[in-house]
Amino acid sequence: MSIWVRVGDFVANVASSALTSIVEAVRTAFEGDPETRRRVSFSIAMIALSAKMAKADGIVTHDEVKAFQQIFSIPESESRHVARFYNLAKQDTAGYESYAAQMAALCGSGHPNCKFLEDILDGLFHIAKADGYVHEKELAFLTRVGEIFGFDEAHFQTIAARHVDLGDADPYVVLGLSRGTSLEQARRRYHQLANENHPDRLAARGVPKEFLTIANDRIAAINGAWEQIEKELKAA
């Protein structure tokens, strides 16, 4: 069964409830099916947090809508359920902090290392930068979501560096390296990240296949950073 049929059925049944009750409903509805729970949770998180980010920024541009569509190819038959849920998320009085905390809790103990949460944050950055610039309010929103997800400043900067220009240190930040690292250390780190972020790994985490757009962007950023660092260190 298509993930969007699952999401559509789920949203049709629970979308009249408060947004903050939906995560618990996902948990119980798919308790015996962890793979479907991850896929539905990811999709719902992306829709809801995208809506919350749009509300924080105060404007939804055509480019942001297009970026959302790049991540999710939603069948016409299910689009009304997604639109209904998106509008619910924008209108719900509960703050996005509460919702983000519930999403983090789905990862259980030790959630700062949960790749599922990094996938969500990467997707939000992809949408935020679609108009060519991550606006101040969007960055504040993303920073707070990162904090709630349990990412320390260095981890958040590594994610952000894949999407925004952080200056001369940018390639090192992308790979989570400090200047002065050796070529061999940098090479090991690069291979580790390339392996961890291979698109097949995302599929294994239950990320919808449409999210391969983000996976490819992530790998491109990692490869680009490594090329710059390798060139610099070999020339040293």
Round to whole Å and give the CA distance between 143 and 99: 15
Give residue-wise pLDDT tens across range 61-83: 677 777 777 777 677 777 777 77
Please name the amino acid found at residue 86.
Answer: Y
Q: What is the mean pLDDT of residues 176-180?
A: 87
Predicted pLDDT of residue 227: 92
How many Cβ atoms are within 10 Å of 198's Cβ, its own excluded?
A: 14
Residue closest to 197 by CA, chosen among 101, 79, 85, 118: 118
Q: What average pLDDT does the structure give for the chain?
A: 78
Q: Can you tell me whether residue 210 is helix, strand or coil?
A: helix
Give residue-wise pLDDT tens across range 34-58: 767 777 777 777 888 888 887 776 7
* Every domain of the chain and the residues it spans: 3-235
Residue % of the chain over a pLDDT of 90: 14
What pTM value is reported for the model? Answer: 0.77
Round to whole Å and give the CA distance between 135 and 59: 11
Burial class of residue 167, CB neighbours in 10 A (0-12, 13-18, 19+): exposed
- Token pair for 119: 């996938």
Predicted pLDDT of residue 132: 78
Q: What is the mean pLDDT of residues 165-183?
A: 81
Please name the amino acid found at residue 57.
Answer: D
The more confident residue out of 100 and 8 is: 100
Round to whole Å and give the CA distance between 159 and 176: 9
